[in-house]
Chain A
Amino acid sequence: MPDVLVLIEHADDTVAKASLELLTLARRIGTPVAIAVGGPSPSVVEKLGGYGASTILSTDDESVSSSVTAGVVGLLASLISSREVAAALLPSTAEGKEIAGRLAVRLDAGVLTDAVDVTSSGGEIVVEQSVFGGSTVVHAAATRGVPVITVRSNSVTPEESPATPSVETVSVADDGGRHAAVTSRSPVSAGGRPGLTEASVVVAGGRGVGAAEKFALIEELADVLSGAVGASRAATDAGWYPHAAQVGQTGVTVAPQLYIACGISGAIQHRAGMQTAKTIVAINKDAEAPIFELADFGVVGDLHAVVPQLIAEVRERKG
């Protein structure tokens, strides 16, 4: 089976859950080869092996880690030209998509972003995409080159498949190009909460929350459910919550197991970012709010009364 290159997101001793999802998908269409920029620690190697990576290719090359996308693109392009590769899988993060785009130009290959599923059918690799904010489901394939595919997190449940990977160090030749250089990097902290796109549970607040300080209630519900906090555009535009938490057309797209919309009317702008969530719960005062069209369970009521009760119930049931 040809290789499927998987670009891994890892830090110190942890591997992103999204990377384990990519390895799970890669196994369906070929032999997973994990690409780790920065020497992977023994626990990272063990984790990648546990999810079926047959080979781990790593580089400590400063030019790869300190350039904006260009170094990783060069590394992936050289691996694709020197190995038999069926596809390259990358995370559907903003930077993952940038790498995919550049790589596709360099290889003159088809690029498919925001896949929610990847399958192989009669030798052709087919992706499922959820477009226009989840209102339309599309199947697509590359017509030339090695398909470069970015996959949304939470698209598949990671499945273990123990392997003992070989770890090889690869180097990248200087391409002589002018590249932007990263001069400093500070990790973004979500205050101990899971990242918005990776979280299994997202609790989001909108106009109905009423004030910045009232977001403490949304955060408290998120915390008892071990979830992330999102916000509608109305709430971020009002300055109640940071822009980075905005879920919607011009913000982040999430597809968690559970999405709880609190005081969000559900304009298309917002629905575009959350309607592929597996289960949706909505709390809103207005019985006519469009969010109820999407809700598996909806409550017409005041979130300031309903949410505290829900928090207490969850605490009690979780013991």
Chain B
Amino acid sequence: MKIVVCVKQVPDTWSEKRLDPADQTLDRAAADGVIDELDTYAVEEALKLKESLGDATVVVLAMGPAGAAESLRKALSMGADEAVHIVDDALHGSDALATSLVLAKAIEQIGYDLVLLGSESTDARMGVMAAMLAERLGVPQATLASGVAVDGTSLRVTRMTSAAQEEVAATLPAVVSVLEKINEPRYPSFKGIMAAKSKPTSTLSLADLGIDASSVGLAAAATKVLDSTARPPRGERTIIKDDGDAGARIADFLASRKLL
């Protein structure tokens, strides 16, 4: 059983993010890069599946600039077995379509029974990647999982949509995205951090994947940003100290805005 976990290096969730005015892509230098917190749930789920299945290999995969190697190292120190880093200057500015193309090629090259990833990234927040990978790979999509059970060649997932809780069945190989409520990601132990240094890691270029550089990157994107502006500050603010009548004063305010 081979489990490929896709992880993304993103600006720290607690930091301010902005677009680079030059080309309207994420300014990665403006904030510290970390492994996407939502992907750590996918890493944890892969490790739990490996523990329950016994015979399984967990490969972590990231596409991104050199710094993304840190996210892979974090996943290795949590307990993943191998890391693969897709790095190529031509990838800068790739949209979700191109990213899914590149990840799908790499996943096919690595070989897989199960692909795991977070339900969305905390920077772009599109929430499309798992569905796109299932489409590209031509395998079942069992996404938005709050629970995953693998039994031989089949998979059962509890899927949480905005309207319903669904029980979903699929055969392997398949793509699964996980929600943050699924587990509690482990912290890397000192032993895990030391062991990560000797685990196999490899890099792949677009050429290694047989992808033409002209089909990825900013120039090939199927969408374009026309302009971006910082949201204007909110209008007049009123801040009061409660002198025993604040509840009534909030009600006055709501009434003045016709919100009551």
Whether both chains belong to one complex is answered with: yes
Contact A299 B129 (CB under 8 A): no
**Bound-state Cα–Cα, A116 to B251, Å:** 29
Q: Look across to chain A and name the residue whose beta carbon is closest to the beta carbon of B226.
A: A139
What band does the interface of chain B fall in when counting residues whose beta carbon is under 8 Å from A? Answer: 35 or more
For residues 140 through 159 of chain B, which have their beta carbon under 8 Å from a beta carbon of chain A? 140-144, 155, 157, 159
Given A101-B132, A295-B239, A297-B250, check contact A185 B166 (CB 8 Å).
yes
Please indicate the chain B residues that have their CB under 8 angstroms from the CB of A99 in the complex: 131
**B interface footprint on A180-222 (CB within 8 Å = 1, 0 otherwise):** 1111111110000001010001000000000000000000000
Pair A250/B37 contact, Cβ less than 8 Å: yes
Contact A98 B246 (CB under 8 A): no
* A98-B143, A139-B226 known; A296-B235 Cβ under 8 A: yes
Residue contact B13 to A250, C-beta cutoff 8 Å: yes
Q: Is B127 a contact of A94 with CB atoms below 8 Å?
A: yes
A288 CA / B17 CA spacing, docked (Å): 22
**Cβ 8 A contact of A126, one of B24, B144, B162, B226:** B226
A101-B223 in contact (CB<8A): no
Verify if B181 is at the interface (C-beta below 8 Å from A).
Answer: yes
A298 & B157 in contact (Cβ 8 Å cutoff): no
- Tell me if B29 is interfacial: C-beta within 8 Å of chain A: no
CB distance from B111 to the nearest CB of A (A): 18
Scoring B residues 229 to 260 as 1 if CB is less than 8 Å from chain A, else 0, what string do you get? 11100111111111011111111011101011
| Number of chain A residues whose Cβ lies closer than 8 Å to a Cβ of chain B | 95
Interface 9-residue window, one of B55-63, B83-91, B168-176, B201-209: B168-176
Given A299-B250, A310-B251, are A182 and B239 also a contact pair (CB < 8 Å)?
no
Q: A70-105: which have CB < 8 Å to B? A: 70, 73, 93-95, 97-102, 104-105
Binds A, one of B1-9, B118-126, B185-193: B118-126
Chain B residues contacting A312 (CB-CB under 8 Å) are 247
Q: Which A residues, 271 to 306, have Cβ-Cβ distances below 8 Å to chain B? A: 275-276, 279-281, 283, 287, 292, 294-302, 305-306
CA distance A143 to B217 in the complex (A): 14
Residue interface bits B46-90, CB-to-A below 8 A is 1, else 0: 000000000000000000000000000000000000000000000
Cross-chain contact B135 with A250 (CB below 8 angstroms): no
Measured between alpha carbons, how far is A269 from B11 in the docked complex, in Å? 12
Residues in B with CB closer than 8 Å to A275 are: 231
Give the dominant DSSP class at B's interface.
mixed
Q: How far is the CB of B178 from chain A (nearest CB, A)?
A: 12
Tell me how far the C-beta of B41 lies from the nearest C-beta in chain A, rounded to whole angstroms: 10
Kindly state the separation between the CA atoms of A73 and B163 in the bound complex, as whole angstroms: 18
CA distance A11 to B235 in the complex (A): 39
Per the bound structure, the CA–CA distance linking A119 and B260 in Å amounts to 32
Least CB distance, A172 to chain B, in whole angstroms: 16
Interface string of A307-319 (1 = CB under 8 A from B): 1111111100110
- The answer on a CB contact under 8 Å between A310 and B250 is yes
Asked if B224 contacts A101 (CB within 8 A), the reply is no
> Complex: how many Å from CA A138 to CA B124?
12
Q: Counting CB contacts under 8 A, is A170 at the interface?
A: no
* Interchain CB contact under 8 A, A243 and B131: no
New A-B pairs, 6, CB < 8 Å, besides A184-B167, A310-B247: A136-B229, A178-B171, A181-B169, A298-B238, A298-B239, A317-B255
Some 15 contacts from A to B, beta carbons below 8 A apart, are: A11-B163, A68-B141, A109-B222, A110-B223, A111-B97, A111-B128, A114-B126, A136-B229, A136-B231, A178-B171, A201-B259, A281-B253, A283-B250, A292-B239, A296-B253
Q: Which B residues lie at the A interface, using CB under 8 A?
A: 13-19, 24, 37-38, 95-97, 100, 119-120, 122-123, 125-132, 134-136, 138-144, 155, 157, 159-171, 174, 180-181, 221-231, 234-242, 244-251, 253-255, 257, 259-260
